[in-house]
Amino acid sequence: MREITLSQAVNEALAEEMRRDPTTFIIGEDVAEAGTPFKILSGLVEEFGTSRVVDTPIAEPGFMGLAVGAAMTGTRPIVDLMFGDFIFLIMDQLCNQAAKTHYMSGGKMSAPLVLRTNLGATRRSAAQHSQSLHALVAHIPGLKVALPSSAYEAKGLLKTAIRDDNPVVIFEDKLMYQDKAPVPEEEFLIPFGEANIKRDGTDVTLIGTSSMVQVCEKAADLLAAEGISAEVIDPRTIVPLDEATLLASARKTSRVIVVDEGHQSFGVTAEIASRINEKAFYHLDAPALRMGAMDVPVPFSPALEDITVPTPEGVADTARKLMSGEMIDAA
C-alpha cells in the first residue's frame, strides 16, 4: 500500500469530504493560501475557493462561535484551531454551546461540526504550545473525541467526524504530521467507538492514545526481546470508548498499563484505568496502572521537556514491574 504522511492524510480526508458535501467548509487562521503553519491544507483553497476555505482574524472564540451557528443552520464547519492549547479560549462556545445544543433543545437542533486541533509536547514550544488537553473535552457530555495515532486513523477518523451529526473534537499529534503510514487509495471510514488491537499479546495490555500508541509499540518491542508478550491497543476514540475491547484484553492479560500524553492527574488515564478496575477487577493480578505526562506545565528546555512525557523505556519498565509482581505501592 502507498504510504503518505499524516498531514497528507488529513488533507485528503478534507478534500474528499468537501467534494462530497457542498455544505462543508474550513474555517480558521491562515488556512487558505498559507495552508496553516503546518502546511497541512495546501491546495484546498485552490480547489474550493475562499468561500469554503476561510481565513479568519485571530479570534478563536469568535470563529468557534460562528461555526456553532453555522452548524445549527445547515452547514458542516470544520474548524481549524492552530494549537490545542488555544482550546482554552473556545471552551465556552464548544462546551456551553455546541456540546449542549442538541440536548437543551430536546433533540430539535444540533451542531454537526468538527474541531480539528492538535496535541503533543517535545517540540520545544513551551507551556502554551505543547499541551494535550483532550481530557477536558472528554469530560463534557455531548462532544465526541477522536485521537488518531497514524496517518491511517487521521484520515479515517476525520472523514467519520465530518459526517457525524454531533460536534466532534479531533486531536492530531503535531509531531506526527510528517510521519508516513500505509493509507489505502480507496475511500474508507473508521467508525467511532472501535478500538484497534495493534498487536496481540498475552502477558500485559498496553493501552495507548494518539502519540502514545507508537510509544507502546516500541515498549512492546523492548518487552518482546525479553520474552514478555504485550498486547497494544489504540482506543482511537475516547468518546465513545470501546470498553468491551479494552476489558476483554484486560481479562486476558490480567495486567494493564494506560498511556496518554495528557497530564496524568484528572486525565484520560484515570478514566480508562477506572473502568478497567471497575469491570475487570477480579481478573487483574495488579491494578491497572497509569502513565500520563507529568503534572507540570511543559518546560521549554529540552533537558526538562523530554522527561515530562512517557517513553518506550519507561513503559517497558513499568510493565516489567507489573510482571514481577513488584507493585509495592498497592500492597
Do the bridges between strand 180-182 and strand 3-5 make them parallel or antiparallel, or are there none, so unpaired? antiparallel
Q: Does 125 bind its own copies (CB under 8 A)?
A: no
Binding span for its own copies by CB under 8 A among 46-54, 130-138, 171-179, 194-202: 130-138
Q: Does 93 bind other proteins (CB under 8 A)?
A: yes
Closer CB to its own copies, 154 or 273, in the complex: 273
* Residue 197, Cβ density class (10 Å: 0-12 exposed, 13-18 middle, ≥19 buried): middle
For residue 272 the three cell numbers come to 480508562
Of the candidates 137, 39, 53, the one whose C-alpha atom is nearest the C-alpha of residue 87 is 137
- Give the amino acid at 73: T
CB distance 191 to 46 below 8 Å: no
Q: Does 82 bind ligand TPP (CB under 6 A)?
A: yes
Question: Which of 58, 59, 296, 307 contacts its own copies by CB under 8 A?
Answer: 296
Residues 8-67 binding ligand TPP (CB under 6 A) are: 29, 58, 60
What is d(CA 14, CA 46) in angstroms, rounded to the nearest whole number?
13
CB distance 68 to 101 below 8 Å: yes
Min CB(83)–ligand TPP separation in Å = 7
Tell me if residue 144 falls in helix, strand or coil. strand
What is d(CA 151, CA 128) in angstroms, rounded to the nearest whole number?
25
Backbone angles phi, psi at 19, to 5 degrees: -70, -40
Residues 135-164 binding other proteins (CB under 8 A) are: 141-142, 144, 164
The catalytic residue among 12, 17, 29, 60 is: 60
Q: Does 177 bind ligand TPP (CB under 6 A)?
A: no
CA 50 to chain centre: 28
What is d(CA 249, CA 231) in angstroms, rounded to the nearest whole number?
8
Q: Is 217 a catalytic residue?
A: no
Report what 69 binds from its own copies, ligand TPP, other proteins, none; CB cut-off 5-8 Å by kind.
other proteins
Residues 243-282 binding its own copies (CB under 8 A) are: 262-263, 265-271, 273-274, 277-282
Report what 302 binds from its own copies, other proteins, ligand TPP, none; CB cut-off 5-8 Å by kind.
other proteins
Q: Does 109 bind ligand TPP (CB under 6 A)?
A: no
Q: Is 60 a catalytic residue?
A: yes
Residues with a catalytic annotation lie at 60, 129
For ligand TPP, the binding residues (CB under 6 A) are 29, 58, 60, 82, 86, 89
